[in-house]
Structure formats: C-alpha cells, structure tokens
Chains A and B, each alone.
Chain A
Amino acid sequence: GAGVSQSPSNKVTEKGKDVELRCDPISGHTALYWYRQSLGQGLEFLIYFQGNSAPDKSGLPSDRFSAERTGGSVSTLTIQRTQQEDSAVYLCASSLWRGLAGGPEKDTQYFGPGTRLTVL
C-alpha cells in the first residue's frame, strides 16, 4: 500500500510569512507524529496525534507552531511568522495505535519523505 506522503517536498519562504505543511499518513494508522531535523539539533519530536487529538505537544518550539488533524487522517503543521531558525526538514510519521494487541508492527513508526523548509 501507499506510504506516508508529505507536501510540498520543498518550500522556500521569506522571513515573517506563514507556511503550511501537509502530511497524509498510511491508511488505517491512527497515530501521527511530526518531527523536524535541523543541523545542530538532530531529529526532534514536535507533536503527536492519536486520532484527531494531540496528547503530546511538548516538542512544539514556540506558539508560532501549531498542528491539526482532521478526520483522523490528514494533518497540517502551520508555522506562523517564520524565522530563519525554522529552516529544517519537517518529517511526518504514522503508526498503528499502541493500544491494539499484536506484534511490533503496531509500534513501528513509518516516515514520509519530509518537507525541506528554507526561510530566507
């Protein structure tokens, strides 16, 4: 089946503009995660969705960052008033819900190709 998809693959924006990044998880995966990868910071967690709710937003770096998920599927990560330090690759992942019985597959997070954001 199809994997996790993200759009756009690349985004160049000017400082101060808002951007929206989109993630389509694997069909049937109820858990969705956003991470970002930047030079000097490595891979860091941003936010996690279970269904449409976000039990863990602890990784969002500031109130300029927000995310939503609708219909238990597509998620959008929005960055308002972008700053140069927001430049990074934003990665989305999805997994089956941990609460399900079963093997390790339910815990495995599958990643999309990422969106490379460049803030000029």
Chain B
Amino acid sequence: SQQGEEDPQALSIQEGENATMNCSYKTSINNLQWYRQNSGRGLVHLILIRSNEREKHSGRLRVTLDTSKKSSSLLITASRAADTASYFCATDLTGGGNKLTFGTGTQLKVEL
C-alpha cells in the first residue's frame, strides 16, 4: 500500500514558471526523499530531508518538511522543458527498516 499521497497527480505549466508538488504521509519518518523518473524507468535522486530539518535547497529545488502535518513540498523554480517527468516522494519510516515507501507521484509537464 502507498504511504504517501501526492498532490496534484498531474501538473502542466509553462517554461519559466514555478512548479509545486505536495506529499503527505501517515506515520513518523526518519527522512523523506524526492525522486524524478523519466519515461517510467530509473529513478534519479533529487534531495533528502531529515525529520529534524524543515527546509533544504539544491539548485532550483526547494524542499520543505512539516512533521506536525506529516507533509512535504517540492518547489522547482524557473522550470524548463527538461524538468518534464514524474516526481515521487519516498519516506523512510521510523522502525521500518531501510526500505522506502513511495507516494503516488506527480506527473509534471513543462511546455515551451
């Protein structure tokens, strides 16, 4: 079963705009990781945020974590056509071993 729900399921924006994706989860976590997937194949790791962190940045990416609301958001600024992909959040659950539990994903399309 899926731990996380992502919102929206699909997002279409124009190049240069910002894209925000949200992820909610149900139980306590050690960390939360965001991944990108192109064409239904390999997952590319984007960023990891620990449960004691509230915000992290990496290039055009900004991730926030609110453990009280059990939610995270991924912001991509100044989007490019190459950002078109599916984005997944994955949680490393407390007491869950090292496995990741994935959300349902957001399909982002960036149009020229």
A107 x B35 contact (CB < 8 A) = no
- Sample 18 A-B pairs with CB under 8 A, ordered by A number: A33-B100, A35-B102, A37-B40, A42-B105, A43-B90, A45-B99, A91-B43, A104-B48, A107-B30, A107-B31, A107-B48, A107-B92, A108-B48, A109-B33, A109-B45, A109-B100, A111-B43, A113-B41
Q: Does A56 contact B (CB under 8 A)?
A: yes
Among B43, B50, B99, B105, the most chain A Cβ lie within 10 Å of the Cβ of: B99
* Those of A74-120 within 8 Å (CB) of chain B: 89, 91, 93, 95, 98, 104, 107-114, 116
Bound CA–CA A44/B45 (angstroms): 17
Number of residue pairs A-B, CB distance < 8 angstroms: 63
B45 proximity list for chain A (CB < 8 A): 108-111
Interface size on A, residues (CB 8 A): 28
A37 proximity list for chain B (CB < 8 A): 40
User: Given contacts A48-B99, A59-B99, are A104 and B50 in contact (CB under 8 A)?
Assistant: yes
Q: Does B98 contact A (CB under 8 A)?
A: yes
User: Given contacts A42-B2, A111-B35, are A31 and B41 in contact (CB under 8 A)?
Assistant: no
B97 x A55 contact (CB < 8 A) = yes
User: Given contacts A42-B104, A114-B41, are A48 and B48 in contact (CB under 8 A)?
Assistant: no
Majority-rule SS of B interface residues: strand
B33 proximity list for chain A (CB < 8 A): 108-109
B42 x A104 contact (CB < 8 A) = no
Spell out A's residues near B (CB within 8 Å): 31, 33, 35, 37, 42-45, 48, 50, 55-56, 59, 89, 91, 93, 95, 98, 104, 107-114, 116
Among B40, B98, B102, the most chain A Cβ lie within 10 Å of the Cβ of: B98
Closest chain A CB from B36 CB (angstroms): 11
B99 x A56 contact (CB < 8 A) = yes
Bound CA–CA A104/B92 (angstroms): 12
For B92, the closest partner residue in chain A by CB is: A107
A55 proximity list for chain B (CB < 8 A): 97
* Those of B51-101 within 8 Å (CB) of chain A: 88, 90, 92, 97-101
